[in-house]
Amino acid sequence: MAFGSSPMAGDAADLLKKLRAMGGRKGDVNTLLLVDLSDLRLPADDDHLMDEIAEVHARVARVRGGAAYQLSPSNIAVVANLTEMNRMEVPQELKMHLFKILQDEAPENFAAVDQSKIVRTIDMTTQMAGAIRFLEAFEERAKEQGVIAGADGLRALGPGDGQAVRAAHAKAGDKGFAGTYVQSQSIALIADAVQPSVIAHEYYVRMDLLGSDALKNVDIHESDPLFPQLTLTLDPLMLGMYRHYNPEGGKCALNLTPESVGGAAFQKFVAGCGPARLSNVIVEMRLSDVMRDLRKYEAARSAVRAQGGTVAVDVVDPASLSVVNLTGFNANIAKIVWRESGVETLARNRSVIKQAQDQGCVVVLCRVDSELGLRVGREVGITAFQGLHVEDMLI
C-alpha cells in the first residue's frame, strides 16, 4: 500500500525526532495513535484511495492539535492533544472513517477485520519511552530497506572503523556507551487469544546510531564483507557492558560470532556470571557466520552448552529452508526472518519447521512488523515471535 501526494507531516524518522525533542517534558501533544491498515486489504494501486485515507488521518490530527505521519505503506501514526474522553472517541472516529472506506471499496473484507487491532493508543505522558522505542523500530527498518541509509555521500565500512568504535567506547565508558547504543527487543510466545508471554530480551547495538555518531557517513549493512570484522569489535564490548544494559540478569539473547565465543572476553564474561554461568543467556550466531566455518560453530556451540547456555542460529532466510537442514545445526533455537515476500516459501517448508520443532528446536519468526507476519507464522506452526509488531502488542 503506498500513498500518493499526501498531507502527511513526515515519516517515522520525523516523528521520532519530534518525540525525542519532547523527552520527558510536557509538549503540545500528549497521545500517539498507531493505525495498522494491513488487515483492511485495500487495493494498493489506487493512489486516489490512498490519498483519501491520508487526508482522513491528517484531518483528524489537525482538529485535535496534532499531525499525521506515514510510518510505512500500511502504518500511520497520529499525534494529538486529547482529553481523557477524547482518547476513547478519536480512535472510534478513525475506525468509523476507515470502515466507511472499506465498505465502499472492499466490502467482502469487512467481516474478516479484527477491529481491536486497527488503532492502538499510547499515552505519551506516561509511556513516552515505549512510544520512542516503537518509532525507533520503524526508523531502523527504514534504514535497512534503504529508505534512509544508502544516500549519496555515505561510504562503505573501512578497516579502521573498528578502531573508531573502540575510541567512542573508551570516551563514553561502559555505562555511557550502553545507554547510547544498546537496544533491546522482546522474544515472546504468542498463542491465539492469549496475552503474549516474554521469554527473553535480545540486546544488540543499534547500527544506525553508530552510523550517525561513531561512524559518521558510513553505510552499514550486514552484507558488507567487512561487517563480520565490525561485529568482532562489538562483541567484546557487549560482553563487557552486560551489567549496564541487563542489570537484573534476566533471560537475554546476545549476538556473537563463533570466534568471539572462543575469545578472552567471553571467558571473562562467563566467570563474571558466577555459579549461574550461562543459564540465563542465549548466544545467537548468524547463519552466515555458522556456514562460514562449521567447525568453529560446533566448538562455540559446545562451549556455550558446557556453561549451561542456550544456542540459537540467527538470520535464517525463508528461501534457505529448502536447502538448509535446521536440525543439522543441533541448536536450541532457530530464528527465521519474516519477509512479506516469503509467505509462500514458509508455507512450502512447513514440514522443515515441524521437523526442527519435533527435535526440540524452538523456531522463532523474527523481524515481524505486521499482523500478517504473526498470522502466517501461526499458520505454519510457529508460536514464538520477535519484532516491531510484537513490541506494539506488549506496550
CB 228 within 8 A of CB 257: yes
* Residue 296, SS3 per DSSP: helix
225 pLDDT more than 80: no
Extended strands (E) in the chain: 31-36, 67-72, 75-80, 119-123, 182-189, 197-205, 252-255, 281-286, 310-316, 333-337, 362-366, 384-386
Task: Give yes or no for a contact between 70 and 3, defined as CB atoms under 8 angstroms apart.
Answer: yes
What mean pLDDT comes out for the span 227-232?
86
Averaged pLDDT, 334-342: 90
Domains in the chain, please, with CATH? Answer: 12-129 (3.30.70.270), 153-394 (3.20.20.450)
- The span from the CA of 373 to the CA of 365, in Å, is 8
Rounded to an integer, the average pLDDT of 302-324 is: 93
Please tell me which residue, 84 or 239, carries the higher pLDDT value. 239
| Res 2: pLDDT | 40
The CA angle 282-127-67, to the nearest 5 degrees, is: 120
Q: Lowest-pLDDT range, 70-84, 148-162, 166-180, 328-342?
A: 148-162
Written as nine digits, the cell of 42 is: 485495500
Please, which residues have CB within 8 angstroms of residue 351's CB and are 6 or more apart in sequence?
Answer: none
The kind and range of the H/E element at 372 are helix 371-379
266 burial level (CB within 10 Å; 0-12, 13-18, 19+):
buried
235 close to 265: Cβ distance less than 8 angstroms:
yes
pLDDT in tens, 97-146: 998 888 888 788 777 777 777 888 888 888 888 788 778 777 666 555 44
DSSP conformation letters of 101-164: HHHHH-GGGGGG--GGGTEEEEEHHHHHHHHHHHHHHHHHHHHHTTSSTT-TT-B---TTHHHH
Nearest to 241 by CA among 169, 175, 166, 170: 175
For the chain, give the mean pLDDT: 86
**What is the Cα–Cα distance from 358 to 354, expressed in whole angstroms?**
6
Determine which of 48-57, 166-175, 373-382 has the lowest per-residue pLDDT on average: 48-57
Q: Within its chain, how far is the Cα of 346 from the centroid?
A: 20
What integer pLDDT is reported at residue 336 of this predicted model?
Answer: 96
152 against 213, higher pLDDT? 213
What span, in angstroms and rounded, lies between the C-alpha atoms of 297 and 261? 9
CB count, 10 Å around CB of 114?
10
The string of pLDDT tens digits covering residues 165-221 is 998 999 999 999 999 999 999 999 998 767 789 999 999 998 878 877 788 777 777
* Stretch among 223-232, 304-313, 316-325, 358-367 having the lowest mean pLDDT: 223-232
**Which residues are paired to 79 by β-bridges?**
32, 67
